[in-house]
Amino acid sequence: MVKKYFVFILIGILFFTACGEEEKPINSSETTLNTIMPLGASRVQGNRPAYESYRYEMWKLLLDENWEFDFVGTRKDRASYPSYAGLDFDMDHEGRGGWTSGQILAGIHGWLDETGAPDIVLFSSPGGNDALQNMSYDQALSNVNDIIDVIQDANPNVTIIIEQLAPGQSFIMTEQLTTYFNQMQQDIVTVAAEQSTATSRVLTVDMATGFMDSFLADLVHYNERGARFIAERYYDVLVDVMER
């Protein structure tokens, strides 16, 4: 009788051990999903067919190279986009037309609470609407720093890619706008260096060099060529920070 009980116990141990091993297949593969928040104003939001966001072009570039990613944000693009590679466009974003740095700062806490902190933030045209609305440069720069602080508080490991913004049409770039624009281009480099931490990189991407009037659908917004140009600039930085 003792021997029979021993045999049953031994069979039970072998059965449960085998079941446990099945939960971890030897040939299983794991991929990393990169969550990306496109953050900014109308250049992020887009307004098809009047003008484009860079998001659609960047989405296609990422698909072409088989990246695992998810655009996140509390806003959804309602425009019509062709499917690509058998997939529908990921329309999530955090772009709001006309919003200034102060408005973005006021909203970013709530947006991050709603979406969860992303792995990567693409910070578009910092201070652009502040300049167009003749608002304080110093306040805009302070707001940009504070926005980065909020994002890093939500995710101490976040990577933030911040633009040295592309200009508007040449004929609207007054002396005042040009001074604002050039100063922001310089200061963003300093912001990125000072805001980077041991775990959170803040990187700049130069959208101004090589950008032409022919990339614009109107005074400040991208046409398809401009959207592609911006997407490619972002992509060149993203490939070095995304995880497979």
pLDDT for position 4 = 44
Amino acid (1-letter code) at residue 214: S
Residues 6+ apart with CB under 8 A from 113: none
Our count of domains for the chain comes to 1
Cα–Cα distance for residue pair 49/223, rounded to 1 Å = 9
- Inside any domain, residue 111: yes
Query: Can you read off the two tokens belonging to residue 169?
Result: 């049409």
- Inside any domain, residue 60: yes
Residues 6+ apart with CB under 8 A from 1: none
- Inside any domain, residue 7: no
- Inside any domain, residue 50: yes
> Strands 92-95, 75-76: parallel, antiparallel or unpaired by DSSP?
antiparallel
Query: Can you read off the two tokens belonging to residue 171?
Result: 């004929």
Closest-CA residue to 133 (of 192, 180, 196, 67): 180
pLDDT for position 32 = 87
- Inside any domain, residue 13: no
Q: What is the domain-level CATH number for residue 219?
A: 3.40.50.1110
- Inside any domain, residue 12: no
Cα–Cα distance for residue pair 33/48, rounded to 1 Å = 28
Asked, as a colleague might, if the bond just before 49 is cis with ω within 30 of 0, I would say yes
- Inside any domain, residue 150: yes
Per-residue confidence in pLDDT tens, the chain, 244 aa: 444 444 443 434 333 334 443 443 333 346 689 999 999 999 999 999 999 999 999 999 999 999 999 999 999 998 999 999 999 999 999 999 999 999 999 999 999 999 999 999 999 999 999 999 999 999 999 999 999 999 999 999 999 999 999 999 999 999 999 999 999 999 999 999 999 999 999 999 999 999 999 999 999 999 999 999 999 999 999 999 999 8
The helix/strand/coil state of 87 is strand
pLDDT for position 18 = 40
The string of DSSP codes covering 202-222 is: EEEEE-STT--GGGBSSSS-B
- Inside any domain, residue 243: no
Q: Which helix (H) or strand (E) holds 152?
A: helix 137-154
The helix/strand/coil state of 26 is coil
- pTM given for the model: 0.87
Domain of residue 119: give its range.
33-238
